[in-house]
A and B are shown apart, each in its own frame.
Chain A
Amino acid sequence: MNTFLRTLREQMGGFGATYRRELGAYFATPMAYVFLAVFLLALGVFTWEAGRFFDTGSADLAPFFVWHPWLYMIFLPALAMRLWADERSAGTDELLLSLPLGMPGLVLGKLLAAWTVAGVGLVLTFPMWVTVNYLGHPDNAAILLTYLVSFLMAGAYLSIGSAVSALTGSQVTAFVISVLVAFAFTAAGWPLVLSTVKAVFGGHVADLVAEFSFLTQFQGAQRGVLELRAVVFFLGFTTFWAILNGLWASRQRLG
């Protein structure tokens, strides 16, 4: 047990320092503020204009949550792209790798810092929640649950962005590749994609593809239903990409 705790402590070495440094970096530059402003603006425009929030006639946040996967797909890679690519282009990865830190601590510190900024973005959408409560009597427990699963989903999108960022020294390249990967995992649940997959590979394959889609996994939560498999999916997905992230960032040591 002691050996386990010691190994864990060593591997997580630098988690706190990295988390504080990365979170500070987001807010020391206009990065976080610009992200939050544009993210909230886009979410508002989609909810009110494209989602026709007022025309649904029901006091819930369905026209708001339905856009989350699509907006995360674009915005969260933008938040994550700097995490590793910036270190490499500035040469600070050299400094970081020379410190007695554990790779898991570094990966999680960076990922959680970006996740915190995304969480702040979600919290700042509270006027939507205030509005529906003003207009009617929504199921607030269901809304809170959808928010929580949405937050987990944000972590999954960020883990893609962070891992891809470890592959390149260019933030633009990291962003473009991350959006493409994120699009694949989002659109996999799109009826258009699924019907094509079904026609070509058959129903079983289409079901499997749908299982890996963020849209499918987020559906239950959007109805206010807590599905354990969705929670396990998003957490497992994030863990998988965080491991890839660590492996890709460690490759640097090989030269």
Chain B
Amino acid sequence: MLDIRNLEKSFGAKRAVQGVSFTLEKGTVLGFLGPNGAGKSTTMRMIAGVLEPDSGDALIDGKSIVTDRRAAQAALGYLPEGAPLYEDMTPPEFLDFIAAARRIERAKRKDAVERAIADARITTVAGQRIGSLSKGYRRRVGLAGAILHDPPVLLLDEPTDGLDPNQKRAVRALIARMAPTKAILISTHTLTEVPAMCNRAIVVDRGMIVADETPEGLARKSEDGTLEGAFTRLTDQAEANSA
């Protein structure tokens, strides 16, 4: 469903992403982990077609983001970091814009918007302007926008960042409901969420993949048997190696 091939991106002298490759099948929820500035968001932005890679490619449902960008983007739902939204719109207006931009037929548009509103549990705030919503609701409106066209691949950048425990649970439940039929890539630095949400974890550091395992396998790699221990050991080690 998602096939990442040797993605590279530099900003000036800084090599943000250095040859990242992996594949993702239906039913996989992949936790994309790494310290700040490791290249997680840059990788996701390249997969989403927001940023052009210097080299490499990402195939989304078989379509190349480099040579067939629009077809690849049509098969992808993307929640950017911080869930940016048009604040002057209400959630249904925003979703209707996304539906029109994604060329969902007019007759099916209303159903798609209603389904996304129900799935993301934002019915109660449907009449309010997005600018007046709490962080949790805004994140869920962003999620509704990402799942509106029922894409086979989902790319969620920090979907639970800044949410309270109840909101986090709601987002996790939504992801779990969608998991069996989609390939989902989630970037996060809240390690405690990974075993609850993901069945696979990739750790990136300095633009390179340093581990690719199940969350349990990853935890076993540390001395204390926790994900945090493994994370620290992997990313510190990479730092020590490159020093």
Contact = CB atoms under 8 A, between A and B. Distances in A.
Interface in B124-182: 145
B200 interface: no
A117 to B, nearest CB: 15
B50 A253 contact: yes
Interface in A153-199: none
A interface, over-half SS: helix
Given A90-B87, A254-B52, A17 B100 contact: yes
Given A24-B93, A94-B80, A95-B80, A13 B70 contact: yes
Contacts of A95: 78, 80, 84-85, 145
B88 A20 contact: no
Contacts of A252: 50
Nearest to A255: B51
Interface string B84-103: 11111100010001101111
A29 B88 contact: yes
B9 interface: yes
Interface string B74-86: 1010101110111
B56 to A, nearest CB: 14
B221 interface: no
Contact of B45 (A28, A29, A94, A102): A94
A183 to B, nearest CB: 31
B70 A90 contact: no
Nearest to B103: A13
A21 B49 contact: no
Interface residues of A, number: 27
A16 B52 CA distance: 26
B52 A100 contact: no
Contact of A92 (B11, B70, B71, B86): B86
A17 B88 contact: no
A90 B88 CA distance: 12
B102 A100 contact: yes
Contact of A100 (B45, B51, B74, B81): B74
Contacts of B100: 14, 16-17, 20
A97 B97 contact: no
Contacts of A222: none
Given A91-B80, A100-B73, A28 B9 contact: no
Interface string A1-17: 00000000010011011
Given A29-B88, A92-B86, A98-B50, A20 B69 contact: no
A90 B130 CA distance: 13
A21 B74 contact: no
B48 interface: yes
B97 A17 contact: yes
25 contacts: A13-B101, A20-B97, A21-B97, A24-B88, A24-B89, A24-B93, A25-B88, A25-B89, A28-B88, A92-B84, A92-B85, A94-B80, A94-B81, A94-B84, A98-B76, A98-B78, A99-B98, A100-B71, A100-B73, A100-B103, A253-B51, A253-B52, A255-B9, A255-B11, A255-B52
Interface of A: 10, 13-14, 16-18, 20-21, 24-25, 28-29, 90-92, 94-95, 97-102, 252-255
